[in-house]
Chains A and B, each alone.
Chain A
Amino acid sequence: MLSGLLTALIGMGLERVVIRHLYRSAELFQLLATFGVMLIIQDLTLLAWGPADLTVSRPPWLRSFIDIAGIRFPAYDLALIAVSPAVLGLLLFLLMRTRFGVLVRACTENRDIAAALGVNQRTLSTVTFGLGAGLAGLGGALMLPDGSANLQIDLTVIVEAFVVVVIGGLGSVTGAFLASILIGELQTFGIILIPKATLVMMFLLMAVVLAVRPSGLLGTGQPQAVRQQRSQAAHPLPARVIHAGWTLIAAMAAAAPWLSPRWQSLATEMMIAANFAASLFLAMGPGGMISFGHAAWFGLGAYAAALSVTMLSAPLPVALVASVGIAGLTAAGFATAVIRLSGVYLAMLTLAFAQIVWAVATQWTWLSGGDDGILGLWPANPTVFFLLALGCTAACLWLINRTVNAPFGLALIAVRDDEARARSIGLSPEPLRIAAFSLSGATAGLAGGLFAFRTGSVFPSYASVAQSVDGLLMVLLGGLRSVADPIVGAIAYTGLHDLLLQMTSYWRLALGLLIIVTVRLFPDGLMAGWRRSLS
């Protein structure tokens, strides 16, 4: 109870200080800020309680067992079973029957109209955010006795909660309740049937539900608040920026033999990041397809490269071709299957797919080496590899920039801006989106392949949520107007990461703070702010 109240208060405070200022910016940037908050909280908990897991035992008065039909049930579990429907009932009552609920729902439908009707949204938003945080806190506290408090709890829980909400249908509390029961059952019985595959099954369930009911079990279309953002005017790169880019690439190529291994390595990491971010930009910016699981293609590319070396003893360039091919083809297949979905639902399925790739990489030990990964992929000559990486990056970025400014890119943006209008000038959104998504997957695969050789190894974490989040942060940090934005975002993010990692062990805290400050100062990305200050 106490933890619920406490987190509610913290939530309200956060809303006032951070989120409050972002309502006018696109949802994605709000999301970015909450990731920043998450990083900070991660480090604060590390500071306060240390890295060890914390456990709490069940309260004494619930430690007994109760006999039902001859089977002994722990009282604590029974209490849990009673608590959640009670919370559901209270929440439904609050949303459906009270003035507060009516106001919240009005604001979800249309913030501006609600404001025009004199609804005090500031307080309302604060209270709603606090309520959400409080319930989350309560949930966390309730599950403590069955698990432990640890530092990795955040991403896992966010992903699971997201999945539950999406399966249930956005905006439907009952739907979310049903979905969590469904997932609970699936996990309990799944463990008996196919141990190890429960995670995959959760995401498969989501895939099936979304394929049949594109807005979730009880959802009714997409509420306005989660419709995907429309980015502002696309910006073709001015010629001098392109010249500057080529000059930089040429300079790096010329300087390669004199760069120390550390600088070569950092530069390669930045190039790979730029590659990865640019590929995500292609899908998210002009393509309008938000991807929360872009690491899937990165991971696939990395494993394709590694396996073609270890199993087929392919030379490095051939391995990279395999990265592009495997990631691109898989992305094409995936896009074809899910093309009906858009917005958050599509984003969730990309996440689901990335989780499946990750699970397969962890569990198919015979192929992937499991958590031990695949090692020993060092390129023979680091400088040659550096030049190769540089060449690949240059080619990738050139291709993406060209594509965005070609008739194809124009049509893609048209389809994103207004689908009905695009259809009524003869454009077919589906093939355009599939092609863009495949290209995006292929270039992300190349980034993954390069990364495998840069680190000399491949691990399941290459396809992890954290890797996807890194990509999102880079893209959002830079902006979504032109291909230069994600490149700048990638370089800034990688550089900061590297710098902070050296300076402080609490780099998450620092990075989180920096992200929040950046989002507040540049609500639509670094590059947009830069352009504004120029004009």
Chain B
Amino acid sequence: MTLLVADGLAKAFGGNQVVGDVSFGIGAGEIVALIGPNGAGKSTCFNILSGQVRPDRGRVVFAGTDITALSPSRRWRLGIGRGFQVAATFGSLTVRDNVRVALLSRDRLVWRFLRRASALLSDEADARLAEVGILPLASQPASTLAYGDLKRLELALALSNTPRLLLMDEPTAGMTPPDRRSTMALLRHLAQAHGSAVLLTDHDMDVVFQIADRVLVLDKGRLIADGVPTEVRSDPQVRAAYLGNDDQHPV
């Protein structure tokens, strides 16, 4: 069955129609890529799905419930994890505490005033860090991490409550090409291990077409293609969108 349904989403910022009437579905366990030239409205779509931005029109249905009006934290409790285009982590906390606070939130242990946080959930936090390969950095403040490691930490945060849907906005932005491929492989592996569906975007087309089961193409806020990678790759409209926008990453 369809895990997530986006139905007629629309959003304008100050008269600028950034997302106009976008509809699609994501099945359980499916890996879907949402691509498009710069400014196409991808991040806005992610923000609408995760609750950071309220759409002007349209509905978001997750696992049968209408979540359009729910806050980001409620959506997270229902099982939607997310990564941001610019890695968002808690800079002054150590890498371990970053994951720890997510796990504490998952277990509803946040409202403890007198217990020592450092005595809680350390093992699980370390296991999560090992999963994404940054366990050796566990006691460093997150603000000291290299960008690629921050992106991995963010992946660990997004996975912290084993979400049924992962929303990853450019999970490999700022990485070197080999790093990108290994991170995407890791993402795919972890998503399968945790049974999560993934909606992701990236500007590296090779990587995207390799990982995705299905590709959606957004141009100027409208969905212009939806299909398996090979189909989308040869779609003339898609080629036109990218070439017409003079993008530096042609398909």
Contacts and interface: CB of A to CB of B under 8 A. Distances in A.
Contacts of B207: none
A455 interface: no
Interface in A181-234: 230-234
B13 to A, nearest CB: 13
A430 B71 CA distance: 13
Interface in B144-181: 157-158, 160-161
Task: Give the most central of A414, A422, A424: most B CB within 10 Å.
Answer: A424
Interface string A415-433: 0111011111111100010
B90 A421 contact: yes
A425 B102 contact: yes
B113 A403 contact: yes
A230 B143 CA distance: 11
B118 A233 contact: no
Contact of B117 (A405, A416, A421, A432): A405
Given A407-B115, A410-B100, A421 B71 contact: no
B93 interface: yes
B112 A421 contact: no
A273 to B, nearest CB: 24
B239 to A, nearest CB: 35
Specify which of A233, A402, A413, A425 lies most central, judged by the most chain B CB atoms within 10 Å of its CB: A425
A391 interface: no
Contacts of A423: 51-52, 71-73, 76
B77 interface: yes
A432 B73 CA distance: 13
B219 interface: no
A406 B117 contact: yes
B90 A232 contact: no
Contacts of B109: 407
Nearest to A231: B92
A233 B105 CA distance: 21
B97 to A, nearest CB: 6
A329 B236 CA distance: 65
A422 B50 CA distance: 13
A234 B92 contact: yes
A418 B112 CA distance: 21
* Most chain B CB atoms below 10 A, which of A234, A236, A410, A416: A410
Contact of B97 (A403, A410, A418): A410
B89 interface: yes
B91 interface: yes
Contact of A230 (B72, B76, B81, B91): B91
A413 B143 CA distance: 14
Contact of B93 (A234, A427, A432): A234
B82 interface: yes
Nearest to B141: A233
B208 interface: no
Given A407-B115, A427-B105, A413 B50 contact: no
Name A's interface SS: helix
Interface residues of B, number: 43
A409 interface: yes
A408 B110 contact: yes
A416 B92 CA distance: 10
B159 to A, nearest CB: 11
Nearest to B160: A425
A78 B210 CA distance: 75
B93 A425 contact: no
A418 B88 contact: yes
A411 B105 contact: yes
Nearest to B140: A233
Contacts of B98: 414
A407 B81 contact: no
B120 interface: yes
Interface residues of A, number: 31
Contacts of B143: 232-233
A282 to B, nearest CB: 12
B140 to A, nearest CB: 9
A426 B105 contact: yes
B32 to A, nearest CB: 19
A421 B97 contact: no
Interface in B93-131: 93-94, 97-98, 100-102, 104-106, 109-118, 120
B242 interface: no
Given A230-B91, A234-B92, A406-B112, A425 B71 contact: no
Interface string B201-231: 0000000000000000000000000000000
A406 B115 contact: yes
Contacts of A432: 110
Interface in A269-307: none
Given A405-B116, A407-B104, A407-B120, A427 B73 contact: yes
Contacts of B52: 420, 423-424
Q: Which among B73, B106, B143 has the highest number of chain A CB atoms within 10 Å?
A: B73
Contacts of B120: 407
Contacts of A405: 116-118
A421 B102 CA distance: 10
A236 B81 CA distance: 29
B84 A407 contact: no
Given A406-B117, A418-B90, A418-B91, A426 B106 contact: yes
A5 to B, nearest CB: 43
Interface string B56-97: 000000000000000111001100011010001111111001
A403 B81 CA distance: 28
Contacts of A231: 92
A230 B113 CA distance: 23
Interface in A152-185: none
B112 to A, nearest CB: 5
Interface in A459-490: none
B162 to A, nearest CB: 13
Q: Name the residue in B71, B105, B158 with the highest tally of chain A Cβ atoms < 10 Å from its Cβ.
A: B105
B96 to A, nearest CB: 11
A234 B118 CA distance: 13
B110 A417 contact: no
A113 to B, nearest CB: 16
Contacts of B77: 426
A414 B104 CA distance: 12
Contacts of A230: 91-92
Given A402-B113, A408-B112, A426-B106, A421 B93 contact: no
Contacts of B158: 424
For the complex of A and B, the 9 pairs showing the least CB-CB separation, nearest first, are A421-B88, A233-B141, A417-B90, A423-B72, A425-B102, A426-B76, A426-B105, A411-B110, A407-B112
7 contacts: A232-B92, A405-B118, A410-B93, A424-B72, A426-B161, A428-B71, A428-B73
Interface of A: 230-234, 236, 399, 402-403, 405-411, 413-414, 416-418, 420-428, 432
